[in-house]
Chains A and B, each alone.
Chain A
């Protein structure tokens, strides 16, 4: 393990962390602009040109607010909750391949922090830990509404994790590997997995909406029933962390969806572009394409939020257990049969 390797990884982690925070910050702005567009309003337009400095103003406001810890709250856990939510949101980016290898001065630099051979399971594990931030925060607040919200979050996450895992199994049958890097390399050009697994993609997308607590699955923070949900008692930057973690989760799950089903940094005609732009610019164009795909997914998340009303809780459970799980199992069986037939002939 030479020192250059450590520096290279450190720089990569710092860049990815910075980009995640920047995208999360501007997702709040984009969310308000998209909402305004869909509701025929203007949206934030005071701070800077087109309101582009609005996230900064919001951040400063969050930092300047008074910090309140309820007197009957479990103080230590009350502080751990938002930190945990932020941590689990950020560590998912470690296994995502952001682009193909770059060659600078004879040194090959992979644009991926680590390529472990159980990459998908790692993502899955991080997702399943995500619920702890909400649960601990909701319980530690010592507030009935927060507790109800924490319990809703837990049962929702567990229910949708099953369907999510089953939809991934069908994808693994097609790819035959769990390494995210290899999965992306297999989708070279336009051989995107969504063409082979359309139903699997649909199930995975619905489940990631549920796992990130986005509308129409935002039951844990349903204002009309639970005041503010699990973050009712939070103020200042702790509240900011919870809100921020939601946007980072959205960014990470968009990246995972683009990686698994939409070819990651692959695009039609990439060989021609790579040949004509060289070993540094070429992969960076691929990264740019990857980010365009991510932004499209983030826009889709927002579009759905401002279009579709929230589920009732029993509808949510019915959809998860009686709709998605049987569909996912059927998808696995059909995929298995088709693969067996193709290998036979």
Chain B
């Protein structure tokens, strides 16, 4: 039952990801992206990683995508003000895309099918275990990454205040 659910959700993920690039309206694209993230949340739940699922839900669907939608709504992109691409750019795009496909197929053929990963502890994704791991063996990298994020935030604030300094 688990595998069939996985394949169903995986199909949905691929379908909605394709809809992101195929829909003409950028706002529709973002909405499809939100649905794609929702299917990822379902994947995390299938892996019994409840905390990761909820955080994906809050951070990606609830915060980052709201900001995306916010910016797109403010820009109000229409067909009329979209810059027309010249023929040469289109040709270059097609060639680059074909190269990417060839590379991807080649690398996929080169790799062998991996064995399915079996978790030693199926409850690894639960909140308590994750917290113990993060604040135990991975204490230093965890704190360092938080300082990195803080410095990025300070930098962003500084950039907006440029003229007053």
A154, B69: Cβ atoms under 8 Å? yes
Q: Using Cβ atoms and an 8 Å threshold, which residues of chain B touch A129?
A: 57, 61-62
A122, B54: Cβ atoms under 8 Å? yes
Q: Using Cβ atoms and an 8 Å threshold, which residues of chain A touch B55?
A: 121
Indicate whether A36 reaches chain B with its CB closer than 8 angstroms: no
Number of interface residues of B (CB under 8 A): 24
Q: Using Cβ atoms and an 8 Å threshold, which residues of chain A touch B74?
A: 151
Residues 100-129 of chain B, each 1 if its beta carbon lies under 8 Å from chain A, else 0: 000000000000000000000000001110
Taking beta carbons and an 8 Å cutoff, which residues of A are in contact with B?
74, 77, 116-118, 121-122, 124-125, 127-129, 131-132, 135-136, 139, 147, 150-151, 154-155, 157-158, 161, 178
Q: Using Cβ atoms and an 8 Å threshold, which residues of chain A touch B76?
A: 147
**Which of A74, A118, A122 has the most B CB atoms < 10 Å from its CB?**
A118
Q: Enumerate 18 A-B pairs (CB-CB under 8 Å) in ascending A order.
A: A116-B50, A117-B127, A118-B54, A121-B55, A124-B58, A128-B58, A128-B62, A128-B66, A131-B62, A132-B66, A139-B27, A147-B76, A150-B73, A151-B70, A154-B70, A157-B66, A158-B66, A161-B62
Q: Using Cβ atoms and an 8 Å threshold, which residues of chain B touch A154?
A: 66-67, 69-70
**Which of A74, A116, A129 has the most B CB atoms < 10 Å from its CB?**
A129
A122 CA to B63 CA in the complex, in Å? 14
Indicate whether B31 reaches chain A with its CB closer than 8 angstroms: yes
For B38, the closest partner residue in chain A by CB is: A129
Known contacts A121-B55, A135-B69, then 20 further A-B pairs from the complex at CB < 8 Å, ordered by chain A residue: A116-B50, A117-B128, A118-B51, A121-B54, A121-B58, A122-B54, A125-B54, A128-B57, A128-B58, A128-B61, A128-B66, A129-B57, A131-B62, A136-B31, A147-B76, A151-B73, A154-B66, A154-B69, A158-B66, A178-B127
